[in-house]
Chain A
Amino acid sequence: MSLIEGFGVLGDPMNIFYMFLGVTLGVLIGVLPGLGGANGVAILLPLTFAMSPVSAIIMLSSIYWGALFGGAITSVLFNIPGEPWSVATTFDGHPMAQKGQAGQALTAAFTSSFFGGTIAVLLLTFLAPVIADFALEFGPAEFFAVYLLTFCSFVGMGKESPFKVISAMMLGFALAAVGIDTVTGQLRMTFGSIELLRGFDFLIAVIGLFGVGEILLTIEEGLAFKGKTAKISPTIVWQTWKTLPKFWATAIRGSIVGCWMGITPGGATPASFMSYGLAKRFSKRGRFFGTGEIEGVVAPECAAHAAGTSALLPMLTLGIPGSPTAAVMLGGLLIWGLQPGPLLFVEQKEFVWGLIASIYLGNLAGLIVVLTTVPIFASILRIPFSIIAPVILVICAVGAYTVHNAFGDIAVMLVFGVLGYLFKKLNYPLAPLVLALVLGDMAESAFRQSMLVSNGDVRVFWSNWLVGTLVTLALLMLVWPLISMLIARVRGKKDEDDGEVETVASH
């Protein structure tokens, strides 16, 4: 019922226009190096300040769907993942392009993305109101428990060294604390500087870390694009579509993995790897994976898009984003005066259902846009880096300035850019840093409120079954790296886990 009202919101032709504009901009962002879902949305956020919240969120979420679609184009044609979650798509997507099946690979990737996104939005439609209803009863202790679980999951599920995850996360919390303390009004870590009084805005951090940092990394690799050309004709699309139904099991498995990883803050990237791994294990043609199997494209794309979509579920219902991009959108909601969380479903029905309806249509719009415009976007990739790079740096500077109309922010963005470059090279994860910066104040006030209620007694976090389960689960996540190391040791794989975990360079 409410969903139908949501589609009614979309009846406004301007909203449909913003949707197509958003998807197109999103694909562009997904294709360009240095611009991705998170910083792309952050840069374009100020453009939406003049719009109504509904139109604005429709455009921003469409940018995000576009970026999810766009990542696949560079993966298949150039073997360069435009987004971290499309790394797994390169494994079979690029070999297919080398065999001259770029069109088939892209059609499969886009269709799988669409499928994964649709499954996730169905889940969102039915689950979100239930969770929001449930969360209305939450007190500060419950909210802190959910925050704790979010952050501990990064430690438990991250590929990076758990110590580096914690360091990066704590840096985010520390940066979030800079400025005026919301409870006592005291100044924290401002050291007498007026610039620091405003604190650090995570949008600036996102633009610097993901945008400038990525440009520096790309230039270091001495970028030489050697791409395959893609021809997508209706015949190829039709023929590929006829082969896809037999991968239904892989697609559904990938979507489920994606939904799960999107809701818990694992995110789209690990979801795509996990789905690829599962498909390889279960497929009859598993041993051919990596040589250009269409199923190896279907699996990661379903998962990535499902994860990207379902990351909005905790963001909307609890006010806790599951990914940096969802965090940026949450920032947008706050700017428009909308407080994400369970009350949103009660007080802002039109907004919530308009957004959910726009995801259905945005996915479809994305599919149409990418299937028809691949050659144009592929040709953008052929523009030399020495032209693209300064333009992207200019766009980043504009984005950083427009957040608060402050020159100082552009300099802060540059510092974050260098930090992002260093962190990426040393395998410090960026997502926990960003989420801690976004949620720092809220997590802190939830913690202080629950401490106030209990008079400083930590047992408040085990005072009922819900809070107790969440906190226990969180602590389990926190020590999970230790547990898995012990298990590995018992099995006799001593030498592998001793030192640093080596991760494959993913850029």
Chain B
Amino acid sequence: MSHEAAGDRSEHTVSVRTVDVVVAVLFMVVAAVVMWDALRIGAVWGVDGPDAGYFPFYIGLLMFLSSAATAVMAVVTKTPDLSSFVERGQLGMVLKVLVPTVIYVALIPFLGLYAASAIFIAFFMAWIGKYGPVTIVPVAIGVPVFLFVLFEIWFLVPLPKGPVENLLGY
């Protein structure tokens, strides 16, 4: 259905309507899981009052019905929104931010939060901002140091530390 969309074909990805339907169907899947789990632990009136699944079951049911309505409305409407959900270039930008962030989060348990943050900021500034080392080094070092002072020294909240901090004696 994404072929009828107007506008720049090369920038087109999927239509808003398609994403709308997909998200609504995902909602219905989640709702089904909620209801299934509620039935498993008992969604009826037990010996001493409502069972643990009583409330969640209706939550799941309502979610299922309203998402089904959203999906149906998106399919049968006379004025479907066929414009591009996200343009190719925009999607590229979003992924350029999202992927490094995922890697950054994955690195935190190994490097500690401060070192991982320094690498992340430096990489981001170099890759997306195209900055030289003169701008990158003060920000990438300064922000983690500021966080260190703020959390570890001033407010006494420990953050995850890694080999670098160990080396420095913390």
Q: Interface on A for B, CB 8 Å cutoff?
A: 46-47, 49-50, 161-164, 166-167, 170-171, 173-174, 177, 181, 183-184, 186-189, 191, 212, 215-216, 219-222, 384, 386-387, 389-391, 393-394, 397-398, 401-402, 405, 407, 410-411, 414, 418, 421-422, 425-426, 428, 444, 447-448, 451-452, 456, 498-500
With A220-B86, A500-B81 already in contact, the answer to whether A170 and B59 are too (CB < 8 A) is yes
Q: Which residue of B lies closest to A427 (CB)?
A: B20
Cα distance, A486 to B78, chains bound together (Å): 19
- Residue B6 interfacial (CB < 8 Å): no
A171 touches B70 (CB 8 A): no
15 A-B pairs with C-beta separation under 8 A: A161-B73, A166-B62, A174-B31, A174-B34, A189-B34, A219-B96, A220-B94, A222-B93, A386-B131, A389-B124, A402-B151, A407-B160, A411-B105, A452-B50, A500-B79
Q: Which residue of B lies closest to A170 (CB)?
A: B63
A-contacting residues, B142-159, CB 8 Å: 143-144, 147, 150-151, 155-159
Q: Which residues in A have their C-beta under 8 angstroms from that of B90?
A: 220-222
A-contacting residues, B55-69, CB 8 Å: 55-56, 59-60, 62-63, 66-67, 69
B70 touches A163 (CB 8 A): yes
With A394-B143, A398-B113 already in contact, the answer to whether A174 and B56 are too (CB < 8 A) is yes
Cα distance, A418 to B19, chains bound together (Å): 14
B121 touches A390 (CB 8 A): yes
The secondary structure that dominates the A interface is helix
With A188-B56, A426-B19 already in contact, the answer to whether A166 and B124 are too (CB < 8 A) is no
With A386-B125, A387-B125 already in contact, the answer to whether A177 and B59 are too (CB < 8 A) is yes
Query: Nearest chain B CB to A182's CB is how many angstroms away?
Result: 10
Q: Which residue of A lies closest to B150 (CB)?
A: A47
- Residue B164 interfacial (CB < 8 Å): no
B27 touches A451 (CB 8 A): no
Cα distance, A47 to B151, chains bound together (Å): 7
B93 touches A219 (CB 8 A): yes
A394 touches B73 (CB 8 A): no
> B45, B70, B129, B159: which has the most chain A beta carbons within 10 Å?
B70
Cα distance, A186 to B23, chains bound together (Å): 30
Q: Which residues in A have their C-beta under 8 angstroms from that of B82?
A: none
Q: Which residues in B have their C-beta under 8 angstroms from that of A219?
A: 93-94, 96-97
A394 touches B37 (CB 8 A): no
- Residue in A46, A177, A387 whose beta carbon sits within 8 Å of that of B139 in the complex: A387
Q: Which residues in A have their C-beta under 8 angstroms from that of B16?
A: 425-426
How many A-B residue pairs lie within 8 Å, measured between CB atoms?
181
Q: Which residue of B lies closest to A395 (CB)?
A: B147
Q: Which residue of A lies closest to B26 (CB)?
A: A422
With A407-B109, A426-B20 already in contact, the answer to whether A174 and B69 are too (CB < 8 A) is no
A402 touches B157 (CB 8 A): yes
Q: Which residues in B have their C-beta under 8 angstroms from that of A177?
A: 34, 55-56, 59
> B41, B144, B156: which has the most chain A beta carbons within 10 Å?
B41
Q: Which residue of A lies closest to B71 (CB)?
A: A163
With A171-B30, A398-B159 already in contact, the answer to whether A391 and B102 are too (CB < 8 A) is no
Q: Which residues in A have their C-beta under 8 angstroms from that of B108?
A: 397, 401, 407, 410
Q: Which residue of A lies closest to B143 (CB)?
A: A391
Cα distance, A50 to B158, chains bound together (Å): 12
- Residue in A47, A163, A407, A444 whose beta carbon sits within 8 Å of that of B157 in the complex: A47
Beyond A161-B73, A167-B67, A448-B49, list 15 extra A-B contacts (CB 8 Å).
A46-B157, A177-B59, A181-B41, A183-B52, A187-B41, A216-B94, A219-B96, A384-B129, A389-B97, A394-B117, A401-B113, A407-B160, A414-B102, A425-B16, A498-B79
Query: Nearest chain B CB to A385's CB is how many angstroms away?
Result: 8
With A387-B139, A389-B97 already in contact, the answer to whether A189 and B56 are too (CB < 8 A) is yes
Cα distance, A369 to B88, chains bound together (Å): 43
A394 touches B120 (CB 8 A): yes
Please list the 7 inter-chain residue pairs (A to B) with the smallest Cβ-Cβ separation, ordered nearest first: A386-B129, A170-B63, A390-B124, A166-B66, A181-B52, A186-B52, A163-B66
The secondary structure that dominates the B interface is helix
A188 touches B41 (CB 8 A): yes
Q: Which residues in B have their C-beta under 8 angstroms from that of A500?
A: 73-74, 77, 79, 81
Q: Which residues in A have their C-beta under 8 angstroms from that of B159?
A: 398, 401-402
Cα distance, A219 to B23, chains bound together (Å): 22
Q: Which residues in A have their C-beta under 8 angstroms from that of B144?
A: 394
B94 touches A174 (CB 8 A): no
Cα distance, A216 to B140, chains bound together (Å): 21
Query: Nearest chain B CB to A414's CB is how many angstroms away?
Result: 6
Q: Which residue of A lies closest to B34 (CB)?
A: A174
- Residue in B54, B56, B69, B77 whose beta carbon sits within 8 Å of that of A163 in the complex: B69
Cα distance, A166 to B151, chains bound together (Å): 39
Q: Which residues in B have their C-beta under 8 angstroms from that of A397?
A: 104-105, 108, 113, 117
Cα distance, A345 to B24, chains bound together (Å): 43
A498 touches B105 (CB 8 A): no
Cα distance, A216 to B97, chains bound together (Å): 7
- Residue B1 interfacial (CB < 8 Å): no
Query: Nearest chain A CB to B162's CB is how many angstroms away?
Result: 12
Cα distance, A389 to B78, chains bound together (Å): 40
Q: Which residues in B have their C-beta under 8 angstroms from that of A184?
A: 51-52
- Residue B134 interfacial (CB < 8 Å): no
Query: Nearest chain A CB to B131's CB is how many angstroms away?
Result: 7
Query: Nearest chain B CB to A184's CB is how many angstroms away?
Result: 5
With A219-B94, A414-B105 already in contact, the answer to whether A167 and B70 are too (CB < 8 A) is yes
A451 touches B105 (CB 8 A): no
B78 touches A174 (CB 8 A): no
- Residue in A163, A418, A447 whose beta carbon sits within 8 Å of that of B55 in the complex: A447
- Residue B101 interfacial (CB < 8 Å): yes
Cα distance, A49 to B135, chains bound together (Å): 35
Cα distance, A102 to B70, chains bound together (Å): 43
